[in-house]
Structures are given as C-alpha cells and as structure tokens.
Amino acid sequence: MGVWVLRVRRPHLARPFKTPLVPLVPILGALISFMMMASLPLATWIRLLVWLVTGLVIYFTYSRHHSRVRARASAATAAKP
C-alpha cells in the first residue's frame, strides 16, 4: 500500500524499481495479508499483544532514562542562572 500512496502523493519521485499493475498489486497484497491475519487463532493475537506491550514498556522505560534530547534539555536549564 505504501508503494501506491507514494506514487499518488509524489509522482515525480525517482523510482529505482517498478511495481507492475499499480494499484492492483498493492490492493491485492493488502487484502491477502489482512485475510491471512484474520485467519490466525486467538492465542496468536494474545501473544502478539503481550509481546507488543512488553516491548513498548521496555522501549519507553529505557528511552526515558537514556534520552539524549532530555539530557540536553536538563543541561540547558541547569546552565541558566
């Protein structure tokens, strides 16, 4: 779908590769992907959500303590009189 959106929004952008039958191929690809996802069992979706939430918690916890932007901002406010 991204290929199709890019071709519509930025038609003059250089294309290093060609996709045949746009927009048919992106639409069919998205529909087939959604159909395959819909056929997955509930246990798979639960595992996905558990790992997704776990990953997001780790990511935001780590980034909160190791953010370069936050370190620069606190250094800038500490330097002001």
Residues 57 and 81 in one domain: yes
Residues 47 and 59 in one domain: yes
DSSP state of 56: H
CB 24, CB 1: distance < 8 Å: no
- What is the pLDDT at residue 80? 66
18 pLDDT more than 70: yes
Residues 25 and 55 in one domain: no
Residues 23 and 47 in one domain: no
pLDDT digits (tens, 9 = 90+) for 60-77: 999 888 888 877 777 777
Residues 45 and 28 in one domain: no
Residue 81: give the domain boundaries. Answer: 41-81
For 53, half-sphere exposure in the C-beta direction (CA atoms, 13 angstrom radius) is 5
pLDDT digits (tens, 9 = 90+) for 33-63: 999 999 999 999 999 999 999 999 999 999 8
Phi, psi of 49, rounded to the nearest 5 degrees? -65, -40
- What is the pLDDT at residue 51? 98
- What is the pLDDT at residue 3? 79
CA angle at residue 40 from 37 to 42, to 5 degrees? 120
DSSP state of 41: -
Residue reference for tokens 């819909």: 38
